Chains A and B, each alone.
Chain A
Amino acid sequence: MADKILDIRNLDITFTTTAGPVHAIRGVNMDLERGETVAIVGESGSGKSVVMKTAMGILAGNAVINSGEIIFRYKEDDGSTQEVDILKKEKKWIRKNINGRKISMIFQDPMTSLDPTMTIGKQLMEGMIMHLKISPKEAAARAVQLLSEVGITEPGRRMKQYPHQLSGGMRQRVVIAMAISCNPDLLICDEPTTALDVTIQAKILELIKKLQADHGISVIYITHDLGVVAKVADYVNVMYAGKIVEVGNIEEIFYEPRHPYTWGLLSAMPDLETDDSRLYTIPGSPPNLLHEVKGDAFAPRNQYALKIDSLKEPPMFKISETHYAATWLLDPRAPKVEMPEELSRRIQRMKKEVKEDGSRL
Chain B
Amino acid sequence: MAADYSQEPILKVEHMKQYFKVSSSFTVKAVDDVSFDIYPGETYGLVGESGSGKTTIGRGIIRLYDPTDGKITFKGADITGKLDKDTFKLLRTKMQMIFQDPMASLNPRKKIGDIIGEGLDIHKMYSTKEERKQKIDRILAMVGLAAEHYDRYPYQFSGGQRQRVGIARALIMNPELIIADECISALDVSIQAQVVNLMKDIQEETGAAYLFIAHDLSMVKYISDRIGVLHLGRMLETGTTQEIFSRPLHPYTRSLLSAIPSPNPRTEKGRTALEYDYATSGLDYDKGTLTKVEGSHYVHGTAKEIAEWMESTS
Contact = CB atoms under 8 A, between A and B. Distances in A.
A264 B22 CA distance: 47
Contacts of B190: 43, 264-265, 268, 281-282
Contacts of B128: none
Nearest to B255: A199
B217 interface: yes
Interface string A249-288: 0110010000000001110111110000011111001100
Contacts of B196: 279
Given A44-B158, A198-B217, A224-B188, A167 B51 contact: yes
B48 interface: yes
Interface stretch (A67-75, A177-185, A352-360): A352-360
Interface string A207-232: 00000000000000000111111110
Interface stretch (A3-11, A137-145, A188-196, A303-311): A188-196
Given A169-B51, A281-B197, A230 B261 contact: yes
A281 B194 CA distance: 6
Contacts of B219: 270
B191 A43 contact: yes
B269 interface: yes
Interface residues of B, number: 55
A286 B259 CA distance: 32
A227 B187 contact: no
Contacts of B160: 44
A200 interface: yes
Contacts of A231: 261, 265, 268-269, 271
B26 to A, nearest CB: 6
B221 to A, nearest CB: 7
A206 interface: yes
Contacts of A351: 266
Contact of A361 (B49, B52, B266, B276): B266
Contacts of A278: 197, 200
Contacts of A160: 23
B265 A254 contact: yes
A44 B94 CA distance: 32
Contact of A353 (B23, B48, B159, B264): B264
A167 B193 contact: no
B267 to A, nearest CB: 6
A195 B187 CA distance: 11
Nearest to A231: B268
Interface string A12-54: 0000000000000000000000000000001111000000000
Interface residues of A, number: 63
- Of B20, B192, B255, most A-chain CB atoms within 10 Å: B192
B215 A359 contact: no
Given A169-B49, A194-B185, A198-B215, A272 B268 contact: no
A255 to B, nearest CB: 8
Contact of B188 (A42, A280, A361): A42
Contacts of B215: 169, 196-198, 201
Nearest to A203: B273
Interface in B192-236: 192-194, 196-197, 200, 215-219, 221-222
Given A43-B191, A198-B215, A354 B51 contact: no
28 contacts: A43-B188, A167-B51, A167-B55, A168-B100, A169-B49, A194-B185, A194-B186, A195-B185, A197-B47, A197-B48, A199-B259, A199-B276, A200-B50, A225-B261, A226-B189, A227-B261, A229-B263, A230-B269, A231-B269, A251-B266, A254-B263, A270-B221, A272-B262, A280-B193, A281-B190, A350-B266, A354-B264, A354-B266
Given A231-B261, A359-B270, 15 more contacts: A166-B51, A173-B50, A197-B49, A197-B215, A198-B261, A225-B189, A227-B260, A227-B263, A233-B265, A264-B190, A268-B192, A270-B193, A281-B193, A282-B190, A350-B262
